[in-house]
Structure 1
Amino acid sequence: MKFLRIGEAGQERPAVLAADGTLREASTLLSDVSGAALSDLPALGPEAIAALPVVPDGARIGPCVGQVGKLICIGLNYSDHAAESGMAVPEEPIVFMKATSAICGPNDPTILPRGSQKTDWEVELGVVIGTRAQYVEEADALSHVAGYCIVNDISERAFQMERGGQWTKGKSCDSFAPLGPWLVTPDEVADPQNLSMWLDVNGQAMQRGSTATMVFGVAHLIHYLSQFMTLHPGDVIATGTPPGVGMGMSPQQYLRAGDVVTLGIEGLGTQRQAIVA
């Protein structure tokens, strides 16, 4: 199934995507797509979904997961992206955190922070944890997944790389973590290590890649992270980005007010962000 959250920021309510492409209210099925509810998401057939009320046209789509406890990011997790960044492929996953206050809806505007000169884009596969994971074996890791989504790990590179070498502050500005549109349950994702991904800026192709080129796959990342921190329902892991980011271009290219970013991952939908000052 494909779950989502609709409504104004802070007032989102659960919904599901029907087979005909319409959004259907799901407040009678669950209180929210968040927390403990992620361990027992309802499974409905097409007829049951079609019987739910239709969401009015124009409703805002919010982040597909609410009340996220941790937004954990993995750096340089695609060998081809490491190469374009001029950095070695890591021997162990590079882990950093992105502030949950950066989370927004998939089509909300991206707000350039004050003083920004190098705001960049990164299409990433997001992994949403559904059940508590602590010291899990890699063979069991995927059983802890509630679903998958798109994350745009928007990054201000000057803040990230030139202001003391601390990545989190270049990753955590408001609106820098669009999630969604959908939380897609694992039964609809045959292989999270074989999903095509893309990102365009103003209609120009920037990123083209596949999760097949991850250095560390989803199962290993869940196993690895669970050795250092307990993963709770609603935690999100952003698993890294393929090549084509602005920092890796020659000359480098960054986002400016008026730009439009569109991106998608096979089977997980698309996002669109207008860049504003």
Structure 2
Amino acid sequence: MLDGPIEGGKTASVAAVVRALDLLRRSTSLGPAYVWEDIPGGHTDECLVRCEIFGDAPLDAGSRRRVLESADAVIFVADSHPLLVEDNRHFLEGTRAALGPSDPCAPVGLLVLANKQDRPRAVPPPVLALRLGIGTGTPVVGAVATEGETVLPAFRFAVNAAVSRLRHLLIRGVEIPVVDAGESDLTASGPALESVPGGAAWPKETARQILERACAGSFRAARRPRVWMFPDATELRSTTGLLLHSRPAWRLPSLQDARVELARQVRSWLPWRDVLPEERCAMVAADADGWRVWVIS
């Protein structure tokens, strides 16, 4: 996650990574700093590495804390102007508090990006580190995010730190949480194409094709849903690149109730239809003891 005060340069930093890795941002409807693609990161220890990069746009305090709690690495983007040092220090304290006590064997990677080094009176990284009370274990590097300088190396540092953390957790046999137990059964395979009744999908022209594409791959349950989704939602990630979401409130006893909920969700999206991802669709599918609304993005 890219964290830091407003106007520090998170949006520009995210954009620099997107440009460098030639990524397509699926939507900016929830804020210009929003990136939620899975990024291929090669292999390590014979395992495929995939990661997400997220820059808040900004988030409310609760959502920000939730993202930080699930992060395996954080890039703290600080404005290097001397008058903003105290703001950076206060915000960084909140970042560390949200990350919680550090596991000495598997810490959450933290790097401070001293941004806007091209500005007059910019505080040099070593001086900023001292004024923020940052020890030698946390790198502080200078950056000009609008030009992309040092941002990609910082991202690579974060990826390596996250991989190292997960490797140590797995070696120690620490169970990495996936989803809440109450919803784990339903996410075993996701909705099946044949479980969607006629007239229970939106948009009707493309929804079934999108579901078919999602079901062409395998599903993996995420530890937490994306921040733009309801906090209690279950998230499945298809190896085809699509995301599937459902939540307890979308599990209903009758098909009619589920259709009503589907219509309610679709109506809430209509004002944003022009900026929604092309793959966005919703449908009702048969569940073990009723019906469930699913959203695919």
TM-score (normalised: structure 2) = 0.23
Which structure shows the higher helix fraction? 2
Which structure shows the higher strand fraction? 1
Larger relative CO (CA 8 A, sep 6+): 1 or 2? 1
Q: Highest Rg: 1 or 2?
A: 2
